Amino acid sequence: MVCLGNICRSPLAEGILKHKVEQHGLDWHVDSAGTGNWHVGELPDHRSIATARQYDIDITYQRARQFRVADFEHFDRIFVMDTQNYRDVLRLAQNDAQREKVKLILDLTHPGENRSVPDPYWDDDGFEHVFQLLDAACGKLIQP
C-alpha cells in the first residue's frame, strides 16, 4: 500500500487489509510505504489512528517508511492510492514484471476508471470517506 507520506491513506489501507487477512486466516504479508521521505519513522496521522480505532483496527504499531526498489522483489502486488503515486512508483520499476505489480487500489472497485483515493491530510472530515473507499477495495482483494 503506497501513498505520498505513509501517514494517512496507506497506513489505513495496511491496517484494513491486515484486519481482513486475519479474519479470513490468510497467510499474507501486508505493508505500506510512502513515495516521499518526510515522515519516515513517524506514527500514522492521529486522524487515521482515530478512524481505524472506530472499527477496532489498531495501526499504532506502524511507522512511516519510504518505498524502495527492493519492495518490488518483496511484494507480489503494489497498490497505490493515486495517479501521482502510480507514476512515482513506476519510475522506480526496473522491468515490465515490476511495472505489472503496480495498480491503483480503487481499480479493484472501479475497474479501468483510474480513480484516486483523495488525500485527507488537509480535510479532517475526509478520513471516514477514505476509510470506506479502502475498506471496499480491500474487501475485493479478499474475495475468492
- Residues annotated as part of the active site: 3, 9, 119
Cβ-based burial of 139 (10 A; exposed 0-12, middle 13-18, buried ≥19): middle
Query: 9-25 b/e with 16+ CB inside 10 Å = b?
Result: bbbbbbbbbbbbbeeee
Report the SS3 class of residue 31. coil
Cell of 12: 489505513
Q: Which of 78, 86, 142, 83 has the alpha carbon at shortest distance from 109?
A: 142
Q: Which of 32, 28, 24 has the alpha carbon at shortest distance from 7?
A: 32
